[in-house]
């Protein structure tokens, strides 16, 4: 039952090997070591795991990395102070503030404090705007990972109907924008919680990208025979038999859709590892100066 799976783990490993080789060349040729700074405020368990995994990827690829951990009640000023220091630090080429931040912090203000030339998450308005107009910029890591998965799995996008479910600034909107580019030439429909007759939209899609945060939302009867399904969702569902008491599932009912689709990403092991690989790619590109010279 594995022939239809788009293996994000293996594709991301390939990308990381390419990054590792390029990092070695950059180090030996120019003495530059890509550097990534993480800021984590609070104890959100998923955020703690994400930052740990991103730190591990830095180690694996030979990057310099530093993590600043702050308590849940950290002040906005303390986070802004750290960002300003990293903005000035020449060893740091990328700054990542792990979201979500505690409720009393203004996330947008934090994002806008990051020097856009080090905004490897691609959330700063300068990068978001440049992406919209197709200029060089940091592309948000999850959408970047999704288009790389499609490319490296030889999924044709030109002329295809793509339905993106979800319109967040970090996944839905940017992935829809990317796939509209001339490079991909898809016809994109974006659905959200107020979309009427969502099933009808999804049933016309050659490619479905689900990014809503609702476990098992997309069922067999929603999708078209032979479609390609990209599942971005990461949901914790109860799993009493396991050590942690939960398991991770996507926004797509994998077992239900498997027979009917042509290709599908699993959760975990699909989009997730690609997000980390593209963060590393953005940081390497920042260190090389190929985005903002």
The residues carrying an active-site annotation are 54, 98, 121
**Considering beta carbons, is residue 185 or 193 the nearer one to ligand NAP?**
193
How many residues at the interface with ligand NAP, by CB under 6 A? 25
Is residue 212 part of the contact set for ligand NAP (CB under 6 A)?
Answer: yes
Is residue 171 part of the contact set for ligand NAP (CB under 6 A)?
Answer: yes
Helices (H) and strands (E) in the chain, counts: 10, 10
| Token pair recorded at residue 213 | 């945060």
Could you give the CA distance from residue 248 to residue 250 in angstroms, rounded to a whole number?
7
Of 120, 37, 118, 48, the closest CA to residue 79 belongs to: 37
- With tokens 């039952």, the residue in question is 1
Is residue 235 part of the contact set for ligand NAP (CB under 6 A)?
Answer: yes
Instruction: List the strands of the sheet with 263-264, edge to edge.
Output: 187-191, 161-165, 207-210, 228-231, 263-264
CB of 15 to ligand NAP, least distance (A): 14
Q: What are residue 84's phi and psi, to 5 degrees?
A: -60, -40
Is residue 271 part of the contact set for ligand NAP (CB under 6 A)?
Answer: yes
CB of 65 to ligand NAP, least distance (A): 19
Estimate the crossing angle of helix 271-288 against helix 141-152, to 10 degrees.
110
Tell me which residue has its CB nearest to ligand NAP: 168
Could you give the CA distance from residue 72 to residue 160 in angstroms, rounded to a whole number?
45
- Piece of 68-76, 105-113, 117-125, 193-201 that binds ligand NAP (CB under 6 A): 193-201
Is residue 279 part of the contact set for ligand NAP (CB under 6 A)?
Answer: no
- With tokens 């990208």, the residue in question is 209
**Considering beta carbons, is residue 155 or 198 the nearer one to ligand NAP?**
198
- Piece of 26-34, 90-98, 147-155, 170-178 that binds ligand NAP (CB under 6 A): 170-178
| Token pair recorded at residue 45 | 């368990």
Is residue 275 part of the contact set for ligand NAP (CB under 6 A)?
Answer: yes
What is the DSSP code (8-state) at residue 118? G
**Considering beta carbons, is residue 162 or 171 the nearer one to ligand NAP?**
171
Is residue 208 part of the contact set for ligand NAP (CB under 6 A)?
Answer: no
**Considering beta carbons, is residue 44 or 195 the nearer one to ligand NAP?**
195
Asked whether 162 and 201 are in contact (CB, 8 A), the reply is: no
Could you give the CA distance from residue 132 to residue 166 in angstroms, rounded to a whole number?
18
Other beta carbons within 10 angstroms of residue 147's beta carbon come to 22
**Considering beta carbons, is residue 1 or 196 the nearer one to ligand NAP?**
196
Is residue 170 part of the contact set for ligand NAP (CB under 6 A)?
Answer: yes
Could you give the CA distance from residue 236 to residue 249 in angstroms, rounded to a whole number?
6
Is residue 164 part of the contact set for ligand NAP (CB under 6 A)?
Answer: no
What is the DSSP code (8-state) at residue 154? T
Per-residue x/- track, 213-232, ligand NAP (CB under 6 A):
xx-----------------x
Binding footprint of ligand NAP on the chain (CB under 6 A)? 142, 165-168, 170-172, 191-195, 198, 211-214, 232-235, 271-272, 275
């Amino acid at each position: 039952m594995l022939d239809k799976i788009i293996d994000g783990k293996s594709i991301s490993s390939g990308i990381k090997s390419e990054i590792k080789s390029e990092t070695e060349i950059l180090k030996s040729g120019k003495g530059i070591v890509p550097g990534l700074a993480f800021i984590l405020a609070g104890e959100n368990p998923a955020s703690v795991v994400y930052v740990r995994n991103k730190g591990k990827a830095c180690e694996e690829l030979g990057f310099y990395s530093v993590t600043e951990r702050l308590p849940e009640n950290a002040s906005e000023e303390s986070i802004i102070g750290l960002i300003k220091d990293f903005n000035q630090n020449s060893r740091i080429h990328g700054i990542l503030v792990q979201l979500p931040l505690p409720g009393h912090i203004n996330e947008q203000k934090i994002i806008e404090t990051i020097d856009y030339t080090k905004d490897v998450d691609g959330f700063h308005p300068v990068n978001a705007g440049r992406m919209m107009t197709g200029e060089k910029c940091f592309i948000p890591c999850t959408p970047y990972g999704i288009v790389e998965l499609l490319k490296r799995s030889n999924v044709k996008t030109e002329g295809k109907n793509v339905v993106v479910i979800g319109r967040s600034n970090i996944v839905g909107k940017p992935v829809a924008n990317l796939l509209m580019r001339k490079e991909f030439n898809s016809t994109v429909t974006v659905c959200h919680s107020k979309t009427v007759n969502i099933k009808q939209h999804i049933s016309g899609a050659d490619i479905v990208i689900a990014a809503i945060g609702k476990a098992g939302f997309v069922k067999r009867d929603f999708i078209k025979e032979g479609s390609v399904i990209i599942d971005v969702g990461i949901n914790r569902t109860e799993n009493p038999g396991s050590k942690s008491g939960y398991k991770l599932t996507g926004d797509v009912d994998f077992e239900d859709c498997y027979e009917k689709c042509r290709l599908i990403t699993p959760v975990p092991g699909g989009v997730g590892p690609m997000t980390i690989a593209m963060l590393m790619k953005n940081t390497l590109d920042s260190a090389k100066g190929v985005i903002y010279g």
